[in-house]
Amino acid sequence: MSKIPLQFRHNGREVAIFVDGGTNLLVALRELIGDMTPKFGCGQGGCGACSVLIDGALHLSCLTLAETVAGRSVETLDGIKQGPQLHPLQRAFMENFAAQCGYCTPGMLMAAKALLDRNPQPSRAEVVEAISGNICRCTGYEPIINAVLAAASGGRASA
């Protein structure tokens, strides 16, 4: 099978790979680039564990054909730290006990980041809406919502 050359920005770095036609972005990130932070949960767009940002907008990488991100910027959980410094959302998730098994956490954090990047002061309802595509089977939604709100208010305090 002939391979398709693919070049895009991955967490700020230019990467180039060859993919089979039909390869989805989740497989490209995990198996070809080696970024294991997006998770496979369903492969059907039902759980949100594979959520990534493409040019700043939230996408399900399992339902995104890899070749469609050519020339675009893909951001995953692996790229949201500033050097060794955790992103305010990561700190807020830690401090608010917003993870149990941790498997949905990368997707949750990307969904939360997409929200705060466009709306730094969301209401509780807006946070609920923003993570409504992400399933947490340990059912820890309340601490997650609280963590996103805490990160948002923390951002205001420092601004």
Interface residues with another protein (CB under 8 A) are 20, 30-31, 34, 36-37, 39-44, 46-47, 49, 76-78, 81, 86, 90-91, 93-94, 97, 99, 101-106, 109, 135-138
Beta carbons within 8 Å of 44's beta carbon, 6+ residues apart: 62, 63
Least CB distance to another protein at residue 35 (A): 9
| CB of 8 or CB of 93, closer to another protein | 93
| Residue nearer to another protein on the CB measure, 122 or 140 | 140
Residues 6 or more apart from 136 whose CB is under 8 A from it? 100, 104, 108, 144
What is the 8-class DSSP label of residue 112? H
Tokens of 81: 């730290």
Closest contact distance (angstroms) between CB of 81 and another protein is 7
Neighbouring residues of 112: CB distance < 8 A, sequence distance ≥ 6: 89, 127, 130, 131, 144, 147, 148, 151
Q: Smallest distance, Å, CB 74 to another protein? A: 14
Q: What is the nearest approach in angstroms of another protein to the Cβ of residue 137?
A: 5
Radius of gyration for the chain, computed over Cα atoms and rounded to the nearest angstrom = 16
Nearer CB in complex with another protein: 39/130: 39
